[in-house]
């Protein structure tokens, strides 16, 4: 077929999308074409960037030299999940202006992680995972509950994203759930497999720009059709509660969402692996800028939900209000744009989870086990091979759990709220206070998780993270007071074993580099 023939064929498919079933904004054929185009593009880019991953350091942490542009973009893209673009309009439609603002408070986690990322990079210049830090800081007492929480959170997020992929592509274009879920997951597994962290961060850059520009285009289209004053007037007349400053459910959602975000980012290896990957000094700037660029995304997406009534768009399914607004105002072009934005939102989170969780499996499960059996640490090529098995294994497990499409599975992620909330203080304390002790960290995680889950079932999801974090903090500081430690932060910068296949540019660890570290203040402070 000639180029013109291809163009005509694609054009016919896109035209057909205007006569699809009500509620769907694209035809299945158009959906398949977009999946194929972007799937091939991501895999191609993954292979291209993956050529740089010649060592395990390259594969797992992108050579530890990522600059500001890619560092900022990967923070934005990873934190923009399909929920951000699809659920934020629903949040606004149901909880009003506070709903959109509540969602945007998840960016505070990125702001707060900025100083932590710089300290993590300085304390552990050769580190790979968050669990490795907890193991070396608190020993097995802290690392076992932390590893369980980390794996539970990572797997539930991964499964919920895969399920969201199948459901959203089905809702947008009628592609069967099983096909959409399988394709999205397979594409992410393939390019992560070929390129590791290089592919993940590289594609994140492209995906973040597509998401931001896509949102701007759709929001401008809305503003060309309806004035903000009209939206405000319509809400005031028909749904005044959505404009209410005192909306109790929305206010509780705001604080819960904020603490859930803190817990997610502080504990998850998705964010720690990026802190290790960024060049020294880049992490704090990248996370601050990433938070600033992410903050408006739920607000702009939420405005699409608020504008729907003023635009005369009837909403039968609240979770598709964003795409419906885009397709109504921009026709086929808008529908295609939304489809691509959703695909980017899904891929940018799934690939990060695959890479970061495979790091946990290799460094915190396989390597310690192998070391115990053989007595020698794993070499660079062996860890690289384990990573490939881990990524494929995670993909297969996710596919098997997501395939039956059990609705309640997607909500299991909310259980993780109190669990990750209970990790906030052990992480902050472990990074900054020498007195933070293993018993305090362990008890904080166990008690915080337990009481938080009780609150989840007895009161509701909107207080679970809050209760988990508050209880954990109380237990942590009591434990630290009763059983203080005297930790030497300098021990974290030593390699746990002999350096294996280190890159020549890494050079030896220069003790003079540590003089300026906060953790090295000789005495008199809480940190030394």
Residue 204 in contact with residue 74, Cβ under 8 Å?
Answer: yes
Task: Name which of 277 and 470 has its Cβ closer to another protein.
Answer: 277
Minimal distance, residue 295 CB to another protein, in Å:
7
Find the DSSP H helices in 124-176: 130-138, 140-173
Task: Name which of 68 and 151 has its Cβ closer to another protein.
Answer: 68
CA 152 to chain centre: 14
Task: Name which of 169 and 210 has its Cβ closer to another protein.
Answer: 210
Residue 202 CA to residue 282 CA, distance in Å, equals: 16
Binding to another protein in span 35-74, by CB under 8 A: 52, 62-63, 65-70, 72-73
Q: Which residues contact 14 (CB under 8 A, 6 or more apart)?
A: 30, 332, 336
Residue 53 in contact with residue 203, Cβ under 8 Å?
Answer: no
Residue 337 in contact with residue 330, Cβ under 8 Å?
Answer: yes
Task: Name which of 211 and 455 has its Cβ closer to another protein.
Answer: 211
Minimal distance, residue 196 CB to another protein, in Å:
12
239 DSSP assignment: -
- Residue given tokens 């790091």 in the structure block: 359
Tell whether residue 14 is a contact of another protein (CB under 8 A).
no
Minimal distance, residue 45 CB to another protein, in Å:
14
- Residue given tokens 């907890």 in the structure block: 134
Minimal distance, residue 208 CB to another protein, in Å:
6
Task: Name which of 215 and 362 has its Cβ closer to another protein.
Answer: 215
Residue 370 CA to residue 514 CA, distance in Å, equals: 32
Tokens describing residue 99: 């709903």
Q: What is the C-alpha end-to-end distance of the chain, expressed in Å?
A: 70
Task: Name which of 70 and 175 has its Cβ closer to another protein.
Answer: 70
Rounded to 10 deg, the angle between the 424-432 and 107-123 helix axes is 40
Minimal distance, residue 96 CB to another protein, in Å:
8
The single residue among 244, 405, 450, 527 that binds another protein, judged by CB under 8 A, is 244
Minimal distance, residue 73 CB to another protein, in Å:
5
Q: Which range in 141-149, 235-243, 469-477, 481-489 contacts another protein by CB under 8 A?
A: 235-243
The single residue among 14, 154, 254, 293 that binds another protein, judged by CB under 8 A, is 293
Binding to another protein in span 410-439, by CB under 8 A: none
Tell whether residue 324 is a contact of another protein (CB under 8 A).
no
Tokens describing residue 367: 């390597």
Minimal distance, residue 61 CB to another protein, in Å:
11
Nearest to 113 by CA among 457, 428, 501: 428
Tell whether residue 289 is a contact of another protein (CB under 8 A).
yes
Task: Name which of 26 and 97 has its Cβ closer to another protein.
Answer: 97
What is the DSSP track for 382-410? Answer: HHHHHHHHHHHHHHHHHHHHHTT--GGGG
Residue 48 CA to residue 68 CA, distance in Å, equals: 21
Minimal distance, residue 70 CB to another protein, in Å:
6
Residue 156 CA to residue 169 CA, distance in Å, equals: 20
Taking CB under 8 A as the rule, which mask of x and - marks residues 187-226 in contact with another protein? -----------x------x--xx--xx-xx--xx--x---
Binding to another protein in span 78-117, by CB under 8 A: 97, 100-101
Task: Name which of 208 and 449 has its Cβ closer to another protein.
Answer: 208
Beta bridge partners of 66: 278
Binding to another protein in span 303-322, by CB under 8 A: 303
CA 408 to chain centre: 21
Footprint on this chain of another protein (rule: CB under 8 A): 52, 62-63, 65-70, 72-73, 76, 97, 100-101, 198, 205, 208-209, 212-213, 215-216, 219-220, 223, 228-229, 231-232, 236, 240, 243-246, 279, 289, 292-293, 295-297, 299-300, 303
């Amino acid at each position: 077929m000639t180029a013109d023939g291809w163009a005509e064929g694609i054009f016919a498919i896109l035209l057909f999308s205007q006569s699809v079933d009500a509620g769907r904004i694209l035809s299945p054929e158009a959906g398949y074409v977009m999946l194929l185009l972007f799937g091939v593009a991501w895999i191609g880019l993954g292979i291209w960037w993956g050529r740089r991953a010649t060592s395990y350091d390259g594969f797992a942490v992108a050579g530890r030299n990522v600059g500001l542009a890619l560092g900022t973009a990967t923070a934005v893209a990873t934190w923009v999940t399909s929920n951000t673009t699809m659920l934020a309009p629903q949040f606004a439609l149901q909880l009003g202006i506070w709903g959109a603002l509540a969602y945007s408070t998840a960016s505070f986690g990125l702001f707060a992680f900025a100083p932590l990322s710089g300290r993590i990079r300085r304390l552990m210049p050769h580190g790979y995972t968050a669990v490795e830090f907890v193991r070396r800081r608190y020993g097995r007492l802290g690392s076992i509950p932390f590893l369980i929480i980390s794996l539970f959170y990572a797997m539930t997020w991964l499964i919920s994203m895969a399920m969201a992929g199948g459901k959203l592509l089905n809702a947008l274009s009628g592609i069967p759930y099983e096909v959409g879920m399988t394709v999205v997951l397979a594409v992410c597994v393939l390019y992560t497999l070929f390129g590791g962290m290089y592919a993940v961060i590289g594609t994140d850059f492209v995906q973040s720009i597509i998401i931001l520009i896509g949102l701007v285009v759709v929001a401008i289209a809305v503003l060309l059709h309806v004035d903000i004053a009209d939206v405000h007037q319509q809400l005031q007349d028909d749904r005044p509660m959505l404009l209410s400053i005192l909306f109790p459910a929305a206010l509780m959602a705001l604080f819960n969402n904020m603490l859930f975000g803190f817990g997610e980012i502080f504990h998850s290896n998705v964010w720690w692996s990026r802190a290790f990957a960024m060049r020294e000094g880049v992490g704090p700037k990248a996370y601050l800028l990433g938070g600033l660029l992410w903050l408006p995304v739920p607000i702009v997406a939420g405005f699409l939900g608020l504008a729907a009534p003023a635009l005369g768009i009837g909403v039968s399914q609240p979770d598709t209000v964003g795409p419906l607004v885009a397709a109504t105002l921009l026709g086929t072009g808008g529908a295609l744009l939304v489809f691509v934005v959703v695909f980017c939102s899904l891929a940018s989170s799934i690939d990060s989870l695959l890479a970061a969780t495979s790091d946990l499996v290799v460094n915190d499960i396989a390597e310690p086990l192998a070391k115990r059996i053989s007595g020698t640490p794993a070499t660079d090529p062996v860890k690289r091979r384990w990573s490939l098995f881990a990524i494929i294994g995670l993909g297969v497990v996710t596919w098997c759990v997501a395939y039956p499409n059990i609705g309640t599975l997607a909500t299991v992620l909310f259980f993780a709220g109190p669990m990750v909330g209970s990790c906030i203080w052990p992480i902050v304390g472990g990074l900054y206070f020498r007195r933070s002790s293993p018993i305090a960290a362990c008890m904080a995680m166990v008690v915080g998780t337990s009481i938080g889950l009780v609150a989840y079932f007895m009161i509701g999801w909107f207080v679970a993270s809050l209760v988990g974090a508050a209880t954990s903090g109380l237990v942590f500081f009591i434990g630290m007071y009763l059983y203080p430690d005297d930790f030497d932060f300098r021990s974290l910068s030593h390699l746990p074993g002999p350096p294996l296949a280190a890159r020549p540019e890494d050079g030896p660890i220069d003790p003079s580099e540590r003089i300026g570290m906060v953790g090295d203040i000789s005495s008199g402070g809480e940190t030394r």
